[in-house]
A and B are shown apart, each in its own frame.
Chain A
Amino acid sequence: MLFNSYVFILFFLPVSLIGFYIAGKKSRELAILWLVISSLFFYGWWNPNLLSIIISSILVNYFISQMFSVYKKRARHILLVIGILLNLATLSYFKYANFFVDNINQFFFTSLYLEKIILPLAISFFTFQQITYLVDTYKNETIEHNFLHYCLFVTFFPQLIAGPIVHHKEMLTQFTKKIFYKIDINNISLGLTIFSIGLFKKVILADGISVYSIAMFNVAEYGLILNTSEYWIGAVAYSLQLYFDFSGYSDMAIGLGLLFGVRLPINFNSPYKSVNIIEFWQRWHITLSRFLKDYLYIPLGGNRYGKIKKYRNLMFTMLLGGLWHGAGWTFIIWGCLHGIYLVINHAWHFIKIQIPFKVNSYSKTLRFFSMFITFLAILVGWVVFRSENIDIASTILLGMLGLIDSNYHELFKISKAVFGIVILLSIVIFMPNTQQFVGYFQENDMKQSQNIQWFAAVAVWKPNLYWGILTGILMSLSILFLARESEFLYFQF
């Protein structure tokens, strides 16, 4: 089920919400049970057959985590290894088996056959969440939780399909709080507002600009050559589509969480305002970066064994991060590309300290230039990321550099496309983001709230007439545009 669908907005959400609060009046456990059933219904709407996968994954992981308390050191370690391997094997089978067989056939001229395996929705997300739980339970960093709470931690529908990849520490503790089951009008109001903003971003902005990116990439897939400006417009349009798509989804997830009294972590924080790639990864898909850092980069050694090993670890982490996004060479190359960017960025920071003169990093011009360069680097990455294969990516990149002749023009109206891009880029660069608009910050993120003090005085969210009507208009416009339902880009990962 899509958040941007009639069935979700008009049927599923009201029913699950009302049911949750009615059940909450009877008992907490009943409310949680209701929410788990609703979430499984939400998941199974797409393909009920795949419910068995998520349910067995939950059962196996919970069982193993409970076994840690029964066994001692060595057996616990073996259990952990088995648990992680089971998770990775399931993920690998569904996500990478076809890719693996295809490549074996291609490189070794064999003719192995494997039927097309359907990728269960959200498997990458719920696998990672459960690995964190397993590892932390092994380290005795979790307190004992009941099975129902664990089920909700994995299946909670606002974050199930495309993140944020929540950590048990930030979720399970909330389920035990008394206020979780009680109607909190402030949470409902804020949730409704954030959800409406997210829906607007997805339905109007992301889907609106997608016509240019879809046109350009599809044409490139058919092997046709465009002119330089069309390549640029298509690539920038895709960057903006992905931005508003993912940002919209993240807002909707937070908004939905609040409707049920749950605070989900911020996953998206104006990433195109980043002045370097390190900052970009602190702002884009924040919870994935956190997972990769805590459960891959640091266990690999992090920055503890010198520069070379640090760079190796960075490369390896990003390569796997790329592969996490999809089974394909383009994703691997995208991951490597970002690994290289990060290595260069870290190396530059190191060199900067060594040079005798100081660069004024706070100069507005330099910041803007850095932002521009960073965006260009990200843009190149997105072209590879979105392309069907490496050949197409190369053609587009060469086309953007003006290195191939074009023989077709007017794929779309350039002026209209540029107008749309300028508007969206201005929103991305000059406007505050949703959490700044509505004052939704993490407890430790005071820096963000201070950054927008100028704005707070002008238009920050309050439950007043102006915001009420604006929220209603945003939601209505989005519903009017819902007829062109489209999937979220991050669903495929």
Chain B
Amino acid sequence: MINISEKQYPILVVSTILLIMLSAGLINYIIDPAHLYRGGTYEHGIAELLHQEKNVANVSNYDERLLQKFYVESLENKKKVLVLGSSRSMQIRSELFKPYSFFNSSVSGCSEEDFLAIFYMFYKKGFVPDKVILGIDPWVFNENSNQTRWRVIQQYYYDMLSVIDQKEKIKSPSNLNSNKLKQLVSWGYLKKSLLLLLSRQQNKENRKFGYYPINDDNADVTIKRSDGSLYEAGYERWTTDEVNKKVFEFTIKPYSLQKFNIINMKAKDNIEKFILFLKNLNIEVIIFLAPYHPYVYKYLVQSGDKKIVADVESSLRILARVNNISIKGSYDPSKNNCIENEFYDGMHPQEVCVNRIFQEKSDNNNQ
């Protein structure tokens, strides 16, 4: 074994670490499977295609908030109906609101900040819709939801807040985006980079690793539809057993509902002020409560320790009643007869369930 001096040992250790970290960082930066370091080129391209009324197939690992930003930036006409919400609201499609122009601006893990920020994009542009559907999920009121993705569009959030509160503009705190830095030296990201590199080598012939326009609205790849709704190929392919497993996993790790013991009053206050603001703009507001899978709801709310989910719903119903706005749906799937096989997993209702909720004549505000 090659001997080294005592002083050389720590230098060797640190050099090895630096070498490995730099290599990993470089691979992640160059391959960039989630398009973190490309300044939104990927999202820009999707937005362009959506403007051409085209469905976009094979979209993956993109920043949904940036997509909204680029989409609204080049929007030329207002949309009469706008949906704001999370992936649980992404099955709300334009067919439900024909003949009105429609766009579903839902983003995964939507938080209170996202509602305000994305609406502000439309407001700033002067394209205020006639109807806004707010898909409000329980975690919006969970201080420990770990939803920080809104930081990408945080200036819009602060601008909206200053408009609502009629105060001077708040400058958003500097956003170093530590997540991007972390991903550079993350094993998970490195694995994705290497897998992508491998798949690129294997698919050199047909180069189908990028997105492309498509006429169909379902296929064997994920499609971002021109109305903003999402067709998730993965969901469709899951067998009943796989769905059951996803449902079961949800009960083990309920998405963004961890450490949810009290309703975050700041978020509630901001949502309330936001709704009042929309009403003052003569916008019709509908609150959409996407149901949870029956099994999940039972274990979370009835037998589990997440009764607060039901409290959130009660609180939203009071808010709706006081402000005379309607509510569609309920976290409790039985209220709209959404049965087990009408779910993709523990928290995503299928289109059939969502359509039923919106097609019901009366709102269920008083349930």
Contacts and interface: CB of A to CB of B under 8 A. Distances in A.
Interface of A: 6, 185-186, 188-189, 192-193, 196, 214-215, 218-219, 222-224, 408, 410-411, 462-469, 471-473, 475-477, 479-484
Given A192-B10, A480-B185, A483-B189, 4 more contacts: A222-B299, A471-B13, A476-B20, A483-B187
Nearest to B261: A116
B167 interface: no
Contact of B190 (A185, A189, A480, A482): A480
A463 B251 contact: no
B6 interface: yes
A475 B17 contact: yes
B10 A465 contact: no
Contacts of A480: 20, 24, 185-187, 190
A465 B16 CA distance: 11
Given A185-B6, A186-B6, A483 B183 contact: yes
16 contacts: A185-B7, A185-B9, A189-B10, A193-B13, A214-B252, A219-B251, A224-B299, A408-B248, A463-B9, A464-B1, A464-B4, A467-B9, A468-B8, A468-B12, A471-B13, A472-B20
Contact of A483 (B8, B186, B299, B304): B186
Q: Which of B17, B20, B185 has the most CB of A within 10 A?
A: B17
A219 B252 contact: yes
A467 B13 CA distance: 9
Contacts of B182: 6, 482-483
Given A6-B182, A408-B248, A481-B187, A464 B17 contact: no
B1 A189 contact: no
A479 B252 CA distance: 27
Interface string B198-218: 000000000000000000000
B2 A465 contact: yes
Interface in B225-264: 245, 248, 251-253
B252 A472 contact: no
A171 to B, nearest CB: 25
Contact of B253 (A218, A463, A475): A218
A477 B20 CA distance: 9
B248 A473 contact: no
B144 to A, nearest CB: 14
Contacts of A408: 248
Q: Which of A186, A468, A477 has the most CB of B within 10 A?
A: A468
A215 B16 contact: no
A98 B362 CA distance: 47
Contacts, number: 102
A457 B1 CA distance: 13
Interface in B1-35: 1-4, 6-10, 12-17, 19-21, 24
Contact of B3 (A219, A410, A464, A472): A464
Contacts of A483: 182-183, 186-189
Interface in B174-199: 182-183, 185-190
Nearest to B21: A476
Contact of B17 (A6, A466, A472, A484): A472
B367 interface: no
B248 A192 contact: no
A185 B10 contact: yes
Contacts of A186: 6
A469 B253 contact: no
A433 B186 CA distance: 28
Contacts of A215: 252
A185 B3 CA distance: 15
In order of increasing CB-CB distance, the 7 nearest A-B pairs are A472-B16, A468-B12, A476-B20, A463-B9, A480-B187, A483-B186, A465-B2
B52 interface: no
Contacts of A465: 1-4, 12
A222 B303 contact: yes
A448 B336 CA distance: 68
Interface in B294-318: 299, 303-304
A472 B14 contact: yes
B166 to A, nearest CB: 34
A215 B248 CA distance: 10
B12 A472 contact: yes
Given A6-B182, A408-B248, A222 B12 contact: no
Contacts of A219: 248, 251-252
A466 B63 CA distance: 43
Contact of A476 (B9, B10, B16, B304): B16
A169 B248 CA distance: 53
A235 to B, nearest CB: 16
Nearest to B20: A476
Contacts of A484: 188
B13 A472 contact: yes
A479 to B, nearest CB: 6
Given A222-B303, A473-B20, A483-B183, A468 B9 contact: yes
B257 to A, nearest CB: 13
Nearest to B300: A222
A238 to B, nearest CB: 15
B13 A192 contact: yes
A469 B11 CA distance: 10
